[in-house]
Amino acid sequence: MYALELISDAIPPVRTSDTIQKVMERMAEFRVNHLPIVNDQQFLGLISDEDLIEVSDLNSPIGSLSLSLHNPFVFQEQHVYDVIRLFYEQKLSIVPVLDLNKNYKGLISINTMMEHVATITSVKEPGSIIILEINNRNNSLSHIAQIVESDNAQILSSYIASFPESTRLEVTLKLNRTDISSILASFLRYDYNVKATFNDSKSDDGTSDRYNQLMNYLDI
């Protein structure tokens, strides 16, 4: 997905002629800590609430301020991962989006971004989560998927976490099933280390108890 697809016009930009008082009120209205400064589609920068803290004259225009942020933005054709990285690296509440001519196209709010993350990770879908601990030399996502699919289940989403100075990896799987006892047994049979499991609390049918019983049996 591209940044252009997540643009929202619900939060309007401010102009250099707008007063500090107006900017503060708009930040409070939309519950954001940043706003884009745009004059006639030209993106001039991103003002932060921290830029307003020491200002005594609330009627002075924001064009007279020095901005603490160094012009953060993404182009409309950049991938959504670039947007997420900018949110994380600069601790932003909104990210401006520009076209290739650097004209302002709109912004992506942190709320919109979180809604998208919830969608792509399938957190709204019922099911279970399995966390596997593997060695990156034995990293075979196709084999992991084969184990899940052989039990008539599907992986709704997955991601991998690595660790500095280690060959250890954590693979997190979101499955479309709440009863995963047979899938867990298969992972254990193939010597996968099942680090943790989580079930949809609304449809917990005792899978966690069966998993604990299985682990106790294997320890005998």
* φ, ψ (nearest 5 deg) of residue 9: -105, 15
Share of the chain above pLDDT 90, in %: 67
Residues 77 and 176 in one domain: no
Residue 123 lies in a domain: no
Q: How far apart are CA 170 and CA 192, in angstroms?
A: 11
DSSP string, 171-200: EEEEES-S--HHHHHHHHHTT-EEEEEEE-
Residue 15 lies in a domain: yes
- Residue 203 reports pLDDT greater than 70: no
Residues 112 and 179 in one domain: no
Instruction: Please give the structure tokens belonging to residue 56.
Output: 């005594």
CATH number for the domain that contains residue 27: 3.10.580.10
- Convert the pLDDT of each residue in 100-159 to its tens digit: 999 999 999 999 999 888 888 887 788 999 999 988 766 678 899 999 999 999 999 998
Contact 132, 187 (CB under 8 A): yes
- In DSSP terms, 32 is beta-bridged to none
**Domain boundary pick from 58, 88, 118:** 118
Q: With the C-alpha atoms ordered 130, 210, 218, 154, is the resulting torsion angle positive or negative? A: negative
Q: With the C-alpha atoms ordered 20, 90, 87, 98, is the resulting torsion angle positive or negative? A: positive
pLDDT given for residue 215 in this prediction: 55
Rounded-to-5 percentages of helix, strand, coil across the chain: 35, 30, 35
Domain that residue 168 falls in: 128-219
Residues 65 and 42 in one domain: yes
**Domain boundary pick from 88, 118, 148:** 118
Instruction: Please give the structure tokens belonging to residue 190.
Output: 């193939």
**Domain boundary pick from 118, 137, 157:** 118
Q: How far apart are CA 188 and CA 137, in angstroms?
A: 18
pTM for this predicted structure: 0.73
What is the overall mean pLDDT for the chain? 88
- Convert the pLDDT of each residue in 152-200 to its tens digit: 999 999 988 888 878 888 999 999 999 999 999 999 999 899 999 998 6
